[in-house]
Amino acid sequence: MRERGNMIKFNYKGKKVCINHLDLFIKPFKNDFQLRKIYFEEIKNKLIEFKKLYSSDTNYYLVMSKRDYRRCKYSLLYDIYLPVQSIILKKVLELPEGNYIVGTPFNNYEFIRNKEFAFSGLPSKEAATFFIDNDELIIIAKRSLQEKKNVFNRI
């Protein structure tokens, strides 16, 4: 599913940035305990890593493969690693409520936008509702990197 040739690489303020597909999804849970209860075995066996993205009555968590997370976090080649799903999330949050299949050069991804936030981010075989090309991904990524307060999508 992941090919090295599909990586999008660019420089931003002297840092090497890479955009690529990672095995992750975004899912709502009532609290941290519910997430840990559902994914107890995966957490115990150190297969997944999670991070809270958004909090309201429901908490939205980014759940990702620990192997992918470590590979990106400790990469010697890139200073910042951006999952393509997190960049798409920024775009989907600008849209009205609904279900979207977003096409990219990597995969098509399913996102469900509700009035609070958006979730899923899973690869989809369905036809894309709209397509985001490499240039637009880079523009959204640079805009995201400029926002100092909103760094949840960086690894």
pLDDT tens sequence across 91-145: 999 999 999 999 999 899 999 999 999 999 999 999 999 999 999 999 999 998 8
Is 82 a member of any domain? yes
Q: What's the mean pLDDT in 10-39? A: 94
Residue 108 lies in a domain: yes
Inform me whether the pLDDT recorded for 9 exceeds 60: yes
The pair of structure tokens assigned to 126 is 């369905």
Q: pTM to 2 decimals?
A: 0.85
Q: Which domain holds residue 128?
A: 8-146
Q: Does some domain include residue 152? A: no
Total structural domains in the chain? 1
Q: What is the average pLDDT across 48-76?
A: 90
Q: What percent of the chain has pLDDT over 70?
A: 92
Whether 1 maps to a domain, the answer reads no
d(CA 81, CA 155): 5
In a domain, 140, yes or no: yes
Domain assignment present for residue 151? The answer is no
DSSP the chain: ---GGG-EEEEETTEEEEEE--SEEEEEESSHHHHHHHTHHHHHTT-EEEEEEEESSSEEEEEEEHHHHHHHHT-SS-SEEEEHHHHHHHHHTTSPSEEEEEE-SS-EEEEEE-SS-EEEEEEE-SPPSEE--HHHHHHHHHHHHH-TT--TT--
Average pLDDT, the chain: 89
Asked if residue 32 belongs to a domain, the reply is: yes
Inside any domain, residue 153 = no
